[in-house]
């Protein structure tokens, strides 16, 4: 059973990750770090968000109630990017977000066996 302090820590980490990802997603691209594989960044970011969301709210199972709000967040960022210079709305980016969220329950079980930090 997770402690209240651990849950609070994960909620703070989730909020921080949402803010950082939101900032990076809404900053004109010329201000960001050198370009790497954009789809991998989306997949990794949303895999991290899925983990943090799951750990921040451990009494609720990972299901559509956690998946859909995170995917809606990705959609919101894509919509905002439509109005930012040198950024565009991308269904491929949104699909990469969804893949990251969909991979989480598969990878979670593998990671739980390897890392005690991930255990609830």
Mean pLDDT of 105-116: 76
What is the structure's pLDDT at 46? Answer: 97
> Nearest 10 degrees: CA dihedral of 51, 53, 26, 30?
-20
Which stretch of DSSP H or E encloses residue 44? helix 38-56
Alpha-carbon distance of 37 to 6, in angstroms, equals 33
Residue spans per domain, the chain: 4-118
As a residue count, the chain comes to 120
Mean pLDDT of 90-96: 96
Residue 81, token pair as written in the block: 């990017």
What is the structure's pLDDT at 73? Answer: 98
What is the structure's pLDDT at 33? Answer: 54
Q: What band does 118 get if pLDDT is binned at 50, 70 and 90?
A: low
pLDDT of residue 36 exceeding 80, the answer is no
């Amino acid at each position: 059973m997770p402690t209240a302090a651990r849950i609070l820590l994960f909620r703070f980490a989730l909020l921080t990750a949402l803010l950082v990802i939101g900032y990076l997603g809404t900053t004109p691209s010329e201000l960001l770090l050198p370009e790497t594989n954009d789809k991998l960044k989306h997949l990794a970011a949303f895999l991290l968000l899925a983990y943090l969301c799951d750990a921040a709210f451990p009494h609720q199972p990972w299901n559509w109630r956690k998946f859909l709000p995170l995917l809606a967040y990705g959609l919101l960022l894509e919509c905002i990017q439509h109005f930012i210079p040198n950024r565009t709305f991308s269904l491929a980016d949104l699909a990469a977000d969804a893949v990251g969220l969909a991979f989480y329950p598969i990878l979670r079980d593998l990671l739980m066996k390897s890392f005690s930090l991930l255990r609830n």
